[in-house]
Amino acid sequence: MEYVSRALEAVQGWREPAPSHPALQPDAERFEAAWSEFAERMGTNYPFHHPRYAGQMLKPPHPVAIAAYTAALHANTNNHALDGGPATSAMEVEVVEWLAEMFGLQGGMGHLTSSGTIANLEALWVGRELHPGKAVVYGANAHYTHSRMCAVLGVRGIEAPADVAGRIDLDAVEELCRGGDVGTVVVTAGTTGTGTLDDVARAVSFRERYGVRVHVDAAYGGFFTLLADSGLIDGGPFKAIAGADSVVVDPHKHGLQPYGCGAILFRDPAVGRLYKHDSPYTYFTSAELHLGEISLECSRAGAAAAALWLTLRSLDLAPILSAGVRAAQAWAELIRGSDVLTLHREPELDILTYFPTASSASEIDAASERVLQNGMDSDDPVFLSTLRISADAFAAAHPDVEMDADGVRVLRSVLMKPEHEPHVPWLHQRVSQIARR
Ligand SMILES: *Cc1c(COP(=O)(O)O)cnc(C)c1O
């Protein structure tokens, strides 16, 4: 609250009062009715802000980001062109430099996007332009949008299998690269389902050996690069990003930002020429770089750059990310000692997968669904998510379970709020209680 009033104060400071127009004044009664309906509808959301919400990758932005975004909205700058938002364009250039430094990709080229999907699309598009006619290879563990975006681009997408651990099978990828038809290899640093890290370093070695481009989808995991030397996670895949051709990271996932903030970074600034366009509508009035000249999207929220800029200037993300990793590790430890829950996979980041202990796949699947529903419906609710694991992967990980179904839903908790850490004993106890019934 105090941050938001600060935003409004700041706006008073920089904005000359301007005359309004009666057409813009809503009818008071109509507005009140609409507002109360709005407030009531918003009350139906799950409590994403609370540690009892341990389900999907969802949490509100940090109040600092909300304040910057709110203040910047009063100018509503458009980072397409410098003329549309000189201050927020400069902030975008700075935050992109900070992200490039984090990944060891200084001197490259990049910009913010409206999402990870669009950022990945740009990487695949650049791959297509530089290796026309060649395929894009992604793993069965990759985000589903890679296959969709290959279709959008008219590029052949090849899905490589994932191994038992949920990593892309790089032996299979290497075999494909040897054939000479592959233009781009996509690896994931932190899968959406389980937070698993592909072997980025080995994929990067294919660049030289086979001349392929290597793109790292770190939409979820990218900021864990800040923990690469902490000993808390496997830093290897994050350090290897410095050798890739491009990387995507979503500040709206682990950068404390509101939705509408992804980022794409390229190692080679020369790919900027591929974006060249000539539009009669826009107003690139100076010789200086306009972000719209190196971006597939046209209008983009300057407020998104402002919010990320103020957040990264004011806060360190590493301690926030560490708390989530420790939470996942601590909960995994409690589950290892439990007779009602079984760990599906050791967490690599802050995503935990587990299931109610049972002897067959069909029982585990039904029990996971039941815990999900009963958790939400209880008076002391806990919010989880489920993840469907293929029969092969599940059987390989849990050979003692009778496989009487062709897939198994397990429980999944994304522990992306630092507040989850002190809440782990409660989460474990509550989920165990519900599973026991
Ligand atoms: C979330 C995610 C995406 C998609 O990003 P959006 O911002 O939701 O469009 C892509 N890849 C990975 C690994 C993700 O976790």
Report d(CA 399, CA 124) in Å as an integer. Answer: 38
In the structure, what pLDDT confidence band is assigned to residue 288 with cuts at 50, 70 and 90? confident
Ligand 1 within 6 A of CB of 196: no
Q: Are strands 135-139 and 157-160 parallel, antiparallel or unpaired?
A: parallel
Strand order in the sheet with 182-188: 109-113, 262-266, 246-249, 213-217, 182-188, 135-139, 157-160
- pLDDT score recorded for residue 49: 97
Ligand 1 within 6 A of CB of 193: no
Ligand 1 within 6 A of CB of 198: no
- pLDDT score recorded for residue 286: 72
Question: What is the whole-number distance in angstroms between the Cα of residue 42 and the centre of ligand 1?
Answer: 25
Shortest CA distance to 181 belongs to which of 145, 135, 237? 135
Say if residue 285's pLDDT is above 80: no
Report d(CA 81, CA 78) in Å as an integer. Answer: 7
Contact in structure between 395 and 388 (CB atoms under 8 Å): no
Q: Which residue has the tokens 């989880």?
A: 384
**Closest ligand 1 atom, CA of 188?**
13
Ligand 1 within 6 A of CB of 141: no
**Residue 6: which H helix or E strand, with range?**
helix 2-14
- pLDDT score recorded for residue 1: 62
Q: Tokens at residue 348, please?
A: 């690599």
In the structure, what pLDDT confidence band is assigned to residue 2 with cuts at 50, 70 and 90? confident
- pLDDT score recorded for residue 289: 80
Contacts for 296 with CB less than 8 Å, ≥ 6 apart: 118, 121, 122, 125, 275
- CA dihedral over 228, 229, 235, 240, signed as positive or negative: positive
Ligand 1 within 6 A of CB of 250: yes
Instruction: Give residue-wise pLDDT tens across range 75-95.
Output: 999 999 998 999 999 999 999
Ligand 1 within 6 A of CB of 223: no
- pLDDT score recorded for residue 276: 82
Report d(CA 233, CA 323) in Å as an integer. Answer: 12
Say if residue 198's pLDDT is above 70: yes
- pLDDT score recorded for residue 280: 66
Q: Tokens at residue 169, please?
A: 């099978």
**For a substitution probing ligand 1, which of 112, 220, 224 has the most ligand atoms within 8 Å of its CB?**
220
Determine the distance from the C-alpha atom of residue 111 to the mean position of all C-alpha atoms in its chain, rounded to a whole number.
16
Report d(CA 390, CA 47) in Å as an integer. Answer: 30
Report d(CA 170, CA 190) in Å as an integer. Answer: 16
Say if residue 52's pLDDT is above 90: yes
Ligand 1 within 6 A of CB of 138: no
- pLDDT score recorded for residue 340: 98
Write down the pTM of the prediction. 0.97
Instruction: Give residue-wise pLDDT tens across range 271-283.
Output: 999 998 766 666 6
Question: What is the whole-number distance in angstroms between the Cα of residue 310 and the centre of ligand 1?
Answer: 23
- DSSP assignment, residue 76? T
Contact in structure between 110 and 265 (CB atoms under 8 Å): yes
Contact in structure between 170 and 214 (CB atoms under 8 Å): no
Question: What is the whole-number distance in angstroms between the Cα of residue 119 and the centre of ligand 1?
Answer: 9
- pLDDT score recorded for residue 164: 86
Question: What is the whole-number distance in angstroms between the Cα of residue 177 and the centre of ligand 1?
Answer: 25
- Mark residue 259 as left, alpha or beta (left: phi above 0; alpha: psi -120 to 50; beta: remaining): beta
- pLDDT score recorded for residue 266: 98
Shortest CA distance to 216 belongs to which of 107, 139, 317, 155? 139
Shortest CA distance to 253 belongs to which of 414, 379, 381, 127? 414
Residue 421: half-sphere exposure toward Cβ, Cα within 13 Å: 11
Determine the distance from the C-alpha atom of residue 230 to the mean position of all C-alpha atoms in its chain, rounded to a whole number.
21
Instruction: Give residue-wise pLDDT tens across range 5-39.
Output: 999 999 999 999 999 999 999 999 999 999 999 99
Contact in structure between 396 and 164 (CB atoms under 8 Å): yes
Domains of the chain: 68-314 (3.40.640.10), 318-436 (3.90.1150.170)
- Integer CA distances (angstroms), 343 to 53, 67, 142, 332, 338, in order: 19, 40, 22, 7, 9
Number of Cβ atoms within 10 Å of the Cβ of 185: 32
Contact in structure between 184 and 124 (CB atoms under 8 Å): yes
Question: What is the whole-number distance in angstroms between the Cα of residue 263 and the centre of ligand 1?
Answer: 11
- pLDDT score recorded for residue 154: 98
